Amino acid sequence: MSSVTSPPVIPAAVAVEEVLAPSRNRRRTYRGGVVPFLIAAPAIILFAIFSWWPILRGLVIAFQKTNLLTTSWVGIENFEHVLADPLLGQALANTALYAGLALVLGFPIPILFAVLIAEMRRTRHISSALVFLPVIIPPVVSILLWKIFFDPSERGLFNTALGFVGIGPLPWLQSPATAMLSIVLVATWGAFGSSAIIYLATLLAIDTQLYEAAEIDGASILRRFWHITLPQMRGTILLLLLLQLIGTFQIFTEPFLLTGGGPNNSTLTLLMLIYRYAFIYGNFGQAAALSLMLAVALSVFAGLYLWLSRKWSKR
């Protein structure tokens, strides 16, 4: 349930276009025999037990009232309760606000760092390691450290630093106006490293002859970035943007540990609402109903996004 994105590291520019492009050669005849299936069977069985079966159970529970001992069918009652909950609108708005802020901060920063690191020929390796370092730190540890840094009193780390330049003390997590922004800061810090490394790999895979040719033609740095770098990175950017958007709508750990959804529900997100339904209030049916609605919404969004991306890629 990590935040902005912790996307899987994929081979740079190679895989990206394949992921976004319509699959080809679908009608190739399979001649591999049964051995590959036997090799994959343990993983498939584990996936079935711990991933696919819970998804199916969640689908069923969404239409049930259950205490996990006794169960009864209630039709769409759970959906009606969730849709009538005044907190749903607030959680949706908070999640959208988080997604917007996370994109504004979390989308350009990894690209910027990747471009900068690509230019650092001597210190590239150490710079890459330093940028990736926050990803290695366990989220709960780093988030609780940030919570200490966000101490709203004058003795807090950030407020002490700001005090040197005559600013603050700021309430950070203690005000509805600044709490979500503070959470975005934490989430961006924790996740931008992995995106930056993927962007960096893409950058380094760009054929240098393109830049040399452009340079001979008298293209400025900005023109080279705009006409060579960005188009070459387009596939990676599109994929990571999709993963980031899906990740932002599943934000949970940071607000759960930093604010508990407060103050005054200003950082209550959709996943936190699901958590409350299930584990605080014991309404597993309502939790499953909201989860199902979120999954459907994200699936529709992802499908639409991919369709638009492919359309754009063909231009």
Partner 1 sequence: MSRPMRRRAAIGVVASIAVSALALTACSGQASEAPVEEAGPVTLIVGGMPAATDEAALAIFNDKVEAFEDANPDITIEGSEVKYDPTTFAAQLAGGTLPTVMGVPVTDIQALISREQIKDLSAYYETSDVLKTLNETVTANVQSTDGDYYGIPISAFTLALLVNRAVFEQAGLDPDVALESWDEVAEAATVITDKTDAAGLAQLTSKNQGGWTLTALSAAFGGLIQETEDGVTASTIDNEATADALQFLSDLRWEEDALGANFLLDFDAAGPAFASGQYGMMVGASEWYNPIVRNFAMAPEDFGLFPLPQDDDGLGSLGGGSVAIVRADATDAEAAAAVKWTEFFYLNRFADMEFAAEEAASQAADGGTVPRVGLPLVSAEAYAEYLAAIEPSINVPLENLETYYSAARSDDFAVVTEPPVEAQQVYGILDAALQAVLTDQNADIDALLAQAQQTAAAIVDGAQAK
Cα 271 → chain centroid: 13
| Backbone phi and psi for residue 156, each to the nearest 5 degrees, phi listed first | -65, 155
Contact (CB, 8 A) for 98 and 269 = yes
Task: Please identify which residue in 281, 296, 307, 308 interacts with partner 1, judged by CB under 8 A.
Answer: 281
Judged by CB under 8 A, the chain residues 87 through 126 that form the site for partner 1 are 87
Compare residues 82 and 245 and give the one whose CB is closer to partner 1: 82
How many residues in the chain? 315
Q: Note whether 68 binds partner 1 by CB under 8 A.
A: yes
Does residue number 81 form part of the binding site for partner 1 (CB under 8 A)? Answer: yes
Residues within window 244-273 making contact with partner 1, judged by CB under 8 A: 259-260, 262-265
Among 23, 70, 208, 209, binds partner 1 (CB under 8 A): 70
Is residue 176 at the binding interface for partner 1, with CB under 8 A as the rule?
A: yes
Smallest separation (angstroms) from partner 1 to the CB of 286: 11
282 vs 303 by CB, closer to partner 1: 282
Q: Give yes or no for residue 173 binding partner 1 (CB under 8 A).
A: yes
| CB of residue 177 to partner 1, shortest distance in Å | 9
Residue 153 binds partner 1 (CB under 8 A)? yes
Q: According to CB under 8 A, which one of 48, 136, 280, 297 is a site residue for partner 1?
A: 280
Nearest approach, Cβ of residue 280 and partner 1 (Å): 6
Joined tokens for residue 33 = 């025999």
Instruction: Mark the segment that binds partner 1 (CB under 8 A) among 66-74, 93-101, 216-224, 227-235.
Output: 66-74
In the structure encoding, which two tokens stand for residue 116, read together? 């900068």
58 lies in the binding site for partner 1 (CB under 8 A): no
Which x/- pattern, by CB under 8 A, does the window 206-235 give for partner 1? ------------------------------
Where do contacts with partner 1 occur on this chain (CB under 8 A)? 65, 67-70, 81, 84, 86-87, 151-153, 169, 171, 173-176, 259-260, 262-265, 276, 279-282, 284
